[in-house]
Amino acid sequence: MYLIINAKKGEEEMKKRSILVGALAISLLGLFYLEPSAMAQSTYRMDIQTWASGGPYLEQVKIFGKRIETMSAGRIKVNVLAGGVVAPSTKEFDALETGAIKWAVTSFNFALGRLGRVGGLFAATPAGPNPSELYAWWRWGDAKPFAEEMLKRAKADMVIVGGPVAYTGAESFGWFRKPVTSLSDFKGMKYRCMGLYGEVAKKLGAAVVNLPGGEIYQAYERGVIDAFEYCTPAMDYSAGFHNLKAVRMEPGFQSTNAALIFMTRTDTWAKVPNELKPIIEGATWASMEEYAWLMLEDAKAIKKFEEAGVKAHFLPKEVQREIVRQVDELHKELGAQDPLYKKVNDSQEKFYSQFRSVEYVCQPRYEWKYPFSR
C-alpha cells in the first residue's frame, strides 16, 4: 500500500515538473520569436529649436533631422522647432543654459557676449574659408577641441554634438542705397551688420546698427538704416528684399560661409542611449547634404532676382582687398587681447594654407566660361 501511494505521488510530481518545464520552454520560445518592434527599445525623441521660420535655413535643419531618423532606422524621432516657438529666436544658447530647451542648432555668433569674440571664428567669419574648407577644419583640424575649450572657459555646461550642420555658401555682401564704388562710401553709413564684420565696418567709418532679421525690411524702408547684410540669396529673396529700392552688392566677403552648431545640455547627452550617440554624431558629419541643397536654392533665387530686375553689382578690387586687410588687422588686435583667439586664428591660418596648397593649384577654375563671373 505504501509503495502504491508513493508511486502515485511520484507521478504527480513528474507531471508538475513537466508542466513547469513546458511553460518555461514556451516562454523562451516566444521571446525569441517576438516581432523586431516588440524587441526594440522605445523611440528616443529629440525636440530641437533652431532658426526662425521663413526661408530655407529652417528647411536645412529639417533635412538634418530627417537624416537622424533615417540613420537610426526610426529609433530616433526628431521634432524641429522654429526659433521663437519655445525660446526667443537666436537666444537658443541662453535657453540651453536655463534648461528651457534641451537641444539646439544655433550659431556661436548669437552668443559672442557670452563666449567672447573668439566665437566668431568658428563659422560666418569675414574674409574666411569657403564651406568645404570650414568643414575640413572642423572634421580634421583643431576646430572642435578649441570650441570645447571656449565653452569650458565660459563655464557653459554644454556638449557640441559631432560637427556643424546647415552649412551655407557665402552670404550676399549686402543691399545699399547706391553701388559701393570706393571705401569712402562706408563713412557715416547707417549699416546693419553683425559679428566680427561689424567691427570691420566700424573701421571703415560706418555707424553699425544691430537689428533682428525680421526688422530689416521696414527699417530700410523708413530710412532707419542705409544698408544691410543678411543671408544667402535664397534667404534674401524669401525676405522680399528684391521689392526694396536697393542695390545688391557681391561678393560676400563679410561672411564667406555659415554653419550652425548642434548642441545639447551635458545632462541631456548623458541620458542618450549609448548605441544612439554615434548615429546622432554621424548624422552631423553628413552635413554636405543640406549644403548642396541650399546651393541649388540660392541658384534659383539668383534667377528670380534677375527676373525681378535686380542685378548683382560687384565691389571694386581695391575695396575687396581693404576689407581683407582690415579683417587681418582685427584678428591681430583681438589675438593680442585673448590668447585663445590667437590660438584659434593661428590654427585656421595654418590649416587653410595647407588645404589651399592643393585646392588653389590642382582644382580648375572656370571664371572665363561664365558671363556672371566677369
Domains 43-169+257-296 and 174-256+308-373 share a fold: yes
Task: State which H helix or E strand residue 152 sits in.
Answer: helix 143-153
Strand segments, DSSP code E, in the chain are 44-49, 76-81, 103-106, 158-160, 165-168, 174-176, 190-192, 207-209, 227-228, 247-250, 258-265, 312-314
- For residue 85, count other CB atoms closer than 10 A to its CB: 14
The fraction of the chain above a pLDDT of 90, given in percent, is 84
Q: Is 264 helix (H, G, I), strand (E, B) or coil?
A: strand
The pLDDT, as a whole number, for residue 370 is 86
How far is 187 from 201, CA to CA, in rounded Å?
Answer: 9
How far is 46 from 35, CA to CA, in rounded Å?
Answer: 25
> What is the pLDDT of the chain when averaged over all its residues?
90
For the chain, domain boundaries: 43-169+257-296, 174-256+308-373
pLDDT digits (tens, 9 = 90+) for 114-135: 999 999 999 999 999 999 999 9
User: Is 43-169+257-296 a CATH 3.40.50.12280 domain?
Assistant: no
pLDDT digits (tens, 9 = 90+) for 245-294: 999 999 999 999 999 999 999 999 999 999 999 999 999 999 999 999 99
Q: Is the pLDDT of residue 339 over 50?
A: yes
The pLDDT, as a whole number, for residue 41 is 61
pLDDT digits (tens, 9 = 90+) for 22-76: 433 333 333 333 334 433 468 999 999 999 998 999 999 999 999 999 999 999 9
Residue among 197, 169, 203 nearest 183 (CA): 203
How far is 89 from 7, CA to CA, in rounded Å?
Answer: 82
Instruction: Label residue 367 by pLDDT band (50, 70, 90).
Output: confident
Q: Compute the half-sphere exposure of residue 120: CA atoms within 13 Å on the CB side of its CA.
A: 24
CA distance readout (Å), 174 to 33, 249, 294, 303, 313? 63, 5, 19, 17, 10
Q: Are 69 and 76 in contact (CB under 8 A)?
A: yes
Stated pTM of the model: 0.87
Q: Can you name the residues that pair with 207 across neighbouring β-strands?
A: 190
- Tell me the mean pLDDT in the region 162-167: 97
The pLDDT, as a whole number, for residue 37 is 42
The pLDDT, as a whole number, for residue 374 is 58
Q: Are 131 and 168 in contact (CB under 8 A)?
A: yes
- For residue 280, count other CB atoms closer than 10 A to its CB: 22
The fraction of the chain above a pLDDT of 70, given in percent, is 89
Q: Which residue has the higher pLDDT, 250 or 6?
A: 250
Query: Fold for domain 174-256+308-373?
Result: D-Maltodextrin-Binding Protein; domain 2 (3.40.190)
The pLDDT, as a whole number, for residue 2 is 38
The pLDDT, as a whole number, for residue 170 is 96
The pLDDT, as a whole number, for residue 262 is 98
The pLDDT, as a whole number, for residue 15 is 47
